[in-house]
Each structure stands twice: as C-alpha cells, then as structure tokens.
Amino acid sequence: MAFNAGAYRASAPRGAPGLRFTVYAILAVALMVLDRRGGWLVTVHYYMDAAVYPIQLAVNSPTRAWNWVRDTLATRESLQAENATLSARNRELALRTQRFAALQRENAELRGLKAALPPLAERWLVAEVVNVELNSQHQRMLLNRGAGNKVFRNQAVLDATGVLGQTISVSPWSAEVILITDPEHATPVEIQRTGVRTIAVGTGDTDSLALPYLPTNADVKDGDLLVTSGLGGVFPQGYPVARITDVRHDLLQPLAQIRATPLARIDAAREVTLVWFQPGHPAAPARGHDADGNAALQPQEAPPLEPIPPLNLPRLKPRPQAPATDSRPDAAPAQPARPVQAPVTDKRA
Amino acid sequence: MAERHESFGGLLFTILVALVLSVIPLPHYIELGRPAFLVLTVLYWSIAAPRLGGISLGFFSGLLLDLFRGAVLGENALALSAITYIFVREHQKIRLKPAFQQCLIVFGALVFYEAILFAIDGWSGHPLTTPWRWLHTLVGAIIWPLVSATLDRSRGVR
C-alpha cells in the first residue's frame, strides 16, 4: 500500500490548485445554470452527445459481443423452433389484419367521415438498444438512431407489446430514451374499461408503475388495461401501457394506492420501435411547442419508408401515405395547431 | 527508481477502463452497490500524480460522467473537481497514510461527493431519491486498497 512517496520530487502541481478549482467550480456552476434554466445548452448537448457516442459504443461492446456470440452459437433446433413460433404468430396477425381494412372503413362511416382515415402510425423505425441504465433513480435507454434518421425529441418509443417511453435527447447518431418506469416520467393514461383518465408515474422499478392520483372510490379493478389517453402531446390515444396488478383502498387516505405492471418488456428489450404519427389524425397527440432553436430537435416529417421485403403476405405492408393536401375533411393545416401548454409528460423540461 | 516517466496515455487508458466499469449495464442488485470506479481512479491519480491530471482531470472526468448519466451538465464535474482539489492539495499527507486511514479518507471524500450530487439533484428538480444512493461510498472505501494496488501495478510501481 505504499504510494512510493519518494518517487516524486517535484510533485507540487503547477499553479495554485485553489485558483484552478475556483475557475472550474465557477465553470461547472455556470454550465448547470445554463443547462437547467432556459435550455441554452441544447445545441451544445447535441454535439457533446455526438462526441461521446463512440465511447458509449465501446463501453457497450462487451454486451454486444456476448449477444453476438449467443446468436451465432444458437443451435439449429432452437432456430427452427423460433422460426416455427414466428410463422405461427405471423399467420395469426395476418388473419387479424384481414378484417382491418373493412373495420377501418366501417369506423369512418360511423364517424361520418367521407374517406377512411389513414392508419395512425405513419412510419416506424426499428432501433437497437445500445446501452441501458435501470436503477431506482434512472431508467434510461440509449438507441442507435438519431437526428440523422429524423428522430426528434419527445418522440414515442414502443415495443411490440406496449409503450416504452419517449426520447429526451437526440444527437446525430443516437437518442436517449426516458422509460415510462423512470421516477421522473409521467404517462397520461386512461383506464380502458371505464375511460377514466389519470397519470401513471414511474417508480424506478422495471415492473411497476404507480397511479397516485385516483380517489379511493375510483372504479379500478385488478387486471384493468391502461392505454394512453392522447393528452400530453407525446403518445397518441389508445396504445397499451400497463395492466393494473394491485389496488389498495385505505379508507383513512383520500387517494387509492394503485400499482400497474408495464406491458412492454422493459428489462429485456434489445430492439425497440420509434414511431412517427400522422399529425392530422384525430387520435394523434396534440403537439406541444418546443422552444429550442435546434431544428433537428423539432418534430420531423417522417422519412420515407425503407422497403420491407415482402414476405408471402404483402398486405402487411403499410399503405403509402397520400400527401397532406388530400381531401380528408380533417386534413392537417399547413401549421399544426400548437397548444401553448408544454407537454406534461416531460417533467424535466 | 528515482525518476519515472508517467505517461498521459496510461492515465487516459485507466480512466477509460474505469468509465466502462462505471457505466456498463449490470443486474439491478449489483448495480445498487456498484462503486464509483471513475471517481476512485481520479482520486488515485490526484494523490499519485497530481501534476499529471490534477483538477482538470477531475473536471473533465466529471463532465464525461454527466454526459453518460444524462445528468445536469456540470453536476458530477463540480463534485469531482471539489474532491480532486482536496486530494491534490493534501496529496503528500494522504499518500503517506497507512491503508486503513486512506480508506477512511476516501470514504469521507466519497460521502462529500455524493452530498454535492444530492444537493444539486434537489436544487435542479430531481427530488426523488433513495437511501441506496449512499451505499456506493461504503463499497468504494472498502475496495479502495484493491483499486489503488491495481493502479499501482498498472504504473509499474510496487
């Protein structure tokens, strides 16, 4: 445990350490104030995140190598079994989609619209999870898609089973996602059975969300499905979020204590989906106003779809979108309506 | 071994390794007690070679941590440069202390570091916190002899 004290003769640091420390402390405090108040550093953050991204990739390389080895060494039997499961699942989904077009038309007629609405999800982009931080204070994810892929800030991130979170910072090649289970994230939801709207707050635990704002006499039961309510400007209406698992009515307290389990597989996700929504659609989220100067962080037009190789089921491909000047009665105005209120889902803003 | 050539590259390498250990994803229960490897490494360098890195090393390592953690820019930078300042100033005294006392000093420094983060978290609107956040200070102090011995070896000191 010797620090080899004799090895340094002139070990006094150059300059006065006190002065240096003062300079750095002032710099750090200035950075914090600029970063927190007024968001002056959004652009700086954008480029710093870009500069750090290669290191993040390097940091994650052991995990990636392990996954690669596991994928490569997967046996023929397990691959065949997986293939069989997937084609069974594909068949099931295809059967469900067969009626989709008809139902959509029927729905439009019931709503009194002349033309059928386009599908809500305009485009999606599969992103790989580069890094995950899951602890009691942070539940974050780093994705390998960024502004270069037209990813923007406060974009919804889903997986095949439910809502995962939203992007909170975007760099040219990467995007950081705050998960719905992060203690600082609140998801506007509604209970599907009753239509009651409330807010699901993250708990810092990957399989639990809290619903702290429901009164004791609220009609909530175990097993109720929570879907996004479309408020808040990030998630459109009707996407599954969580299922209620625990309802406790304490008569001495004005609010019920309710827990729900997220439907998305948060701790197992390796690939997630970034979604662009049709802005004029009635179920689309009302976009909040982003005051940042950086154009790359504003909501982006969806980039053109990458061609998906047609399986034997070409109808699974989403239909190409008509331009915004079509004859839909609710066609988006040139400037989308912008509520003054900022999105409530990002409490950090 | 009167004159030894310290290389800045070696320092950067150890910092990078410590950064990897600090941010690599771990299972939840190990994550709770993960020591702040980067902080320990910076502390080591500030008493072992204060001229090489010094407070600048603390500041920029902290900035790197901020970027990786998605924290307020400057949070870790301030906390880390504060304890680096103490260690650089007192490096001759700390270096000569026996191992156990060094552990205690490191423990104090880690608690001070975490206290600064705690205060900034509260100020900047991250009021949610758990007592678990203090666990890593204890773990860090316990493994300090191991860290410093490993880093000694990496410099070729015995």
**Domains in chain B: boundaries:** 34-154
Asked if A48 reaches chain B (Cβ–Cβ under 8 Å), the answer is yes
Structure confidence by residue, pLDDT tens digits, B78-92: 999 999 999 998 888
Average pLDDT, stretch A10-26? 73
Q: Which of A179, A182, A169 is nearest to A297 (CA)?
A: A169
Measure Cα distances from A258 to A179, A198, A218, A220 in Å: 19, 11, 11, 9
Q: A59 and B102: CB-CB below 8 Å? A: no
B56 contact A CB<8A: yes
Task: Report chain A residues whose CB lies below 8 A from the CB of B146.
Answer: none
Chain B hits for A11, CB-CB cut-off 8 Å, are 49-51, 91-92
Per-residue pLDDT band at B158 (split at 50, 70, 90): low
- According to the per-residue pLDDT averaged within each range, which of A24-38, A47-61, A124-138, B134-148 is highest? B134-148
CA A33/CA A25 separation, integer angstroms: 12
Q: What pLDDT, in 10s, does the model give residues A208-264?
A: 999 988 888 888 889 999 999 888 888 888 889 999 998 888 777 888 889 999 999
Q: Which pLDDT score, from 0 to 100, does residue B113 have? A: 94
Mean pLDDT of chain A: 77
- Judge whether A1 is closer than 8 Å to chain B, CB to CB: yes
- Identify the structural domains of chain A with CATH numbers, from first to last: 120-303+343-349 (2.40.10.340)
Task: Compare all CA atoms of chain B with the CA of A40 and give the residue at the minimum distance.
Answer: B73
DSSP string, A144-163: S--GGGT--TT-EEEETTEE
pLDDT category at A346 given cuts 50, 70, 90 is very low
Q: With an 8 Å Cβ cutoff, are B70 and A52 in contact?
A: no
Contacts of B93 in chain A (CB under 8 A): none
Residue B157: list chain A partners with CB under 8 A: 3-4, 7
Residue B145: predicted pLDDT: 92
Give the residue from chain B lying closest to A170, CA to CA.
B70
Task: Provide the pLDDT for residue A323.
Answer: 47
Q: Considering only CB atoms, which chain B residues are within 8 Å of A348?
A: 125
- Give the tens place of pLDDT for each residue, A142-167: 998 988 888 988 899 998 888 999 99
Mean pLDDT of chain B: 86
DSSP string, A199-228: EEEE-SSTT-EE-TT-BTT----TTPEEEE
Residue B34 region, left (φ>0) first, then alpha (ψ -120 to 50), else beta? beta
Q: What is the pLDDT of residues B101-117, one digit of tens each?
A: 999 999 999 999 999 99
Tokens representing residue A120 in the block: 């809500």
Closest residue in chain A to residue B29, using alpha carbons only: A135
Q: What is the pLDDT of residues A23-48, one digit of tens each?
A: 999 999 988 888 877 667 777 888 88
Determine, for residues B133 and A52 on separate chains, whether the beta-carbon distance falls below 8 Å: no
The answer to whether A184 contacts chain B (CB < 8 Å) is yes
Q: Which of residues 200-229 of A touch B (CB under 8 A)?
A: 204, 206
Mean pLDDT of the A178-201 span = 91
How far does the CA of residue B82 sit from the closest CA of chain A (Å)? 7
Of B28, B48, B81, the CB nearest to A28: B81
